[in-house]
Structure 1
């Protein structure tokens, strides 16, 4: 008893500092230990501390889609801290089964949005936290088969889904889908992914009457639309998937790749156009020829994005062994190859390989665990896998991939 009474408890600020160094899913588990820990680890003070700490260690998030069995797996790895790192470990987070439509997932501020997931024979929009495995089903908009995009307002801390000209605020308790009256000629969305930058959602669209590209700009907070001329990309009108929308130091960028043969080797040229001023709609174009790399010169790859430090990140499109991510520094004209280790033989076999959708500068944010937004375990519902027509569970954190 005397020994117990002499024990000194750790100061609260030190305890909070320790918890900021844990992964978000570990913090989420600790919140369930008691009311005291739930209150402490949900406090605005700790949430801000955790986000500040997490922002110093951004990661590369991998969403791996396996078509043949309708599975999505989520992994992440550290981003290299210096030019000498050539191998980094991979951490598995969670997965779920579901008949996902042809519409690709959308990402904003730590959450993934799927416009249509078949759950118990019902198509529903679904939003989930890829590191904790928490999810929330959203209201289905009638007569909609468009893909939809997820946006985040950093001021009011609200997520909103934009489906053509209809808007849904996530977890607010407000009425469902709200239609916005916007004066604009008819257009349809291109199959490229949208991107949310500092509370503004951008996506590529194509006009109907005279086919031409435009950028749709949607302010998530004010819900105001703006249409930006993007006819400078009309050379890709037949193959819009060759264009990737990225954030270039807080500004919208559009990247496409060109290829040429030089002495029997493939030369890769990156063309990046940056919207320097969306008021006067000024685009500035940059062209970079990548240093020769044997692996990159022979594989299929996609543009994952641009890091906060300015590196353009390219990822191998399909999982294989070895699997590489490439970091190109435009200022230094250097190309760093980093092998990502840890997918495992289940994914590396050719017959099982999945397509990789990567997201740069992924930061874990505990405010995303708010119960109003992510209120259930993904293991609580069942799905019908269309390829095998057998019932299976949507899987939660901790299950082996």
Structure 2
């Protein structure tokens, strides 16, 4: 990334870029107006890469708080632990936005968070609300700018995933059709060119059984094929790990003999995490014991797993409704509360498998603007990517509607 500087002026410019690379992206955007030279320097591939390197070294948590159709975005630095006491971290407010095109269910009481698909990848959020009325959109949580994507009709239970291809540096959304209805699986590439849904071939019918996780340009999720008719001899079990390569846009399938609901990226490897234990207090009011299982894939095709089990006794961690967010770069598993109640503390929890310790961190500064209990979605590895900020399509404008598919009594067309 280093450049050769041949003059004092070049050295000064390099020093300026070094200083500006440590600022928030909103500040960098304002400095574009200083001069044509600064505009050129701050828009150069060199500076964008330098800025992303700095941002990636200080990754943050991203919080999307939903209240009555309004989204509020906050971020917070990953915690650094120095003691066993409860830590406190401040949340930085980014922006609020409420696109009328994103009609969603009441996330707090619907009981099924997958009624809205929401994924984060390399600086952008993908959202897809009510499948009958809403339009999918891409949003920059820092600026609040968004782009409405072409309409995507889906029949019954259909799920979407979002990921980033680090080689071609492209964001892509994958929309999977309901296996027992009409329609096709489709993929969309988001950039400054023409955006449209394109059909992708899938040789194995399956239902979706987990959220997705993107690792090094490959989307993974768990598929359930036991109720589907498949002639493909590759499928020999009821459950499969579905692998979708974002660059080649090809599916591969790995047979597994168990069902799970949570996949995570654990130190660059695909992993499964699940709980076993009693959720209720015993008759003598003692806390229940929970077992946390972590299965890390060492060789997916050969089905080689490293399996770990950790015992956690219930404390205030189990008194809240929490969800698994993922694992940090250092291997700590992050859990987050799913709801924020005004004037009450909001926690995230870091579990260190090597030390078998659980550390709570109170996230403050969500603000006094919320009047009722809100749904909170938490994302790991939030970075500020200037390429995402500079996307010309993020202008809150509508693209053309996609022509509707034929919706006959059966899906006679091949995938």
Q: Cα distance, 1:143 vs. partner?
A: 4.8
Q: Cα distance, 1:141 vs. partner?
A: 3.0
Task: Give the distance between the partners of 1:327 and 1:54, measured in 2 at CA.
Answer: 21
Alignment correspondent of 1:230? 256
Match 2:394 to one of 360, 370, 375: 375
Confirm or deny that 1:112 pairs with 2:110.
no
Give the secondary-structure state (helix, strand or coil) at the position aligned to 1:40: helix
Alignment correspondent of 1:282? 304
Q: Is the 8 A contact 1:316 1:325 kept in 2?
A: yes
Confirm or deny that 1:136 pairs with 2:147.
yes
Residues 225-374 of structure 1: pairs in structure 2 closer than 5 A: 225-233=251-259, 243-260=261-278, 264-290=286-312, 292=313, 294-320=315-341, 321-347=344-370, 352-372=372-392, 374=393
Task: Give the distance between the partners of 1:150 and 1:22, measured in 2 at CA.
Answer: 28
Alignment correspondent of 2:111? none
Q: Cα distance, 1:95 vs. partner?
A: 2.2
Q: Is the 8 A contact 1:116 1:126 kept in 2?
A: no
Task: Give the distance between the partners of 1:251 and 1:159, measured in 2 at CA.
Answer: 21
Task: Give the distance between the partners of 1:82 and 1:52, measured in 2 at CA.
Answer: 23
Q: Is the 8 A contact 1:24 1:132 kept in 2?
A: no
Compute the RMSD of aligned alpha carbons. Answer: 2.6
Most deviating of 210-219 and 48-57: 210-219
Deviation track 1:370-394 (CA, whole Å, cap 9, x = no partner) reads 324x431x5x79xxxxxxxxxxxxx
Unaligned ranges ≥5, structure 2? 1-8, 106-114, 177-184, 229-236, 399-415
Alignment correspondent of 1:150? 162
Residues 45-56 of structure 1: pairs in structure 2 closer than 5 A: 45-56=46-57
Deviation track 1:282-312 (CA, whole Å, cap 9, x = no partner) reads 333221113x463113221111110000001
Alignment correspondent of 2:193? 173
Cα pair distance change 1:274/1:47, threshold 3 Å: same
Q: Is the 8 A contact 1:189 1:204 kept in 2?
A: yes
Q: Is the 8 A contact 2:224 2:239 kept in 1?
A: yes
Q: Is the 8 A contact 2:21 2:50 kept in 1?
A: yes
Q: Is the 8 A contact 1:312 1:327 kept in 2?
A: yes
Give the secondary-structure state (helix, strand or coil) at the position aligned to 1:196: strand
Give the secondary-structure state (helix, strand or coil) at the position aligned to 1:331: coil
Task: Give the distance between the partners of 1:175 and 1:281, measured in 2 at CA.
Answer: 37
Q: Give the length in aligned residue pairs.
A: 353
Task: Give the distance between the partners of 1:294 and 1:255, measured in 2 at CA.
Answer: 20
Task: Give the distance between the partners of 1:80 and 1:302, measured in 2 at CA.
Answer: 18
Alignment correspondent of 1:79? 78
Task: Give the distance between the partners of 1:95 and 1:122, measured in 2 at CA.
Answer: 22
TM-score by length of 1: 0.80
Alignment correspondent of 1:125? 136
Higher strand share: 1
Deviation track 1:196-223 (CA, whole Å, cap 9, x = no partner) reads 1111111222225269332211111111
Task: Give the distance between the partners of 2:266 and 2:197, measured in 1 at CA.
Answer: 31
Deviation track 1:4-58 (CA, whole Å, cap 9, x = no partner) reads xxxx998111111111111122223333554433322121111111111112211
Residues 19-34 of structure 1: pairs in structure 2 closer than 5 A: 19-34=20-35
Alignment correspondent of 2:43? 42
Alignment correspondent of 2:402? none
Give the secondary-structure state (helix, strand or coil) at the position aligned to 1:105: strand
Cα pair distance change 1:38/1:330, threshold 3 Å: same
Q: Is the 8 A contact 2:135 2:152 kept in 1?
A: no
Task: Give the distance between the partners of 2:50 and 2:349, measured in 1 at CA.
Answer: 31
Q: Is the 8 A contact 1:108 1:195 kept in 2?
A: no
Give the secondary-structure state (helix, strand or coil) at the position aligned to 1:232: coil
Cα pair distance change 1:176/1:9, threshold 3 Å: closer
Most deviating of 315-324 and 121-130: 121-130
Most deviating of 84-93 and 8-17: 8-17
Alignment correspondent of 1:391? none
Unaligned ranges ≥5, structure 1? 1-7, 237-242, 382-401
Confirm or deny that 1:215 pairs with 2:259.
no
Give the secondary-structure state (helix, strand or coil) at the position aligned to 1:193: coil
Task: Give the distance between the partners of 1:305 and 1:175, measured in 2 at CA.
Answer: 30
Task: Give the distance between the partners of 1:327 and 1:314, measured in 2 at CA.
Answer: 6
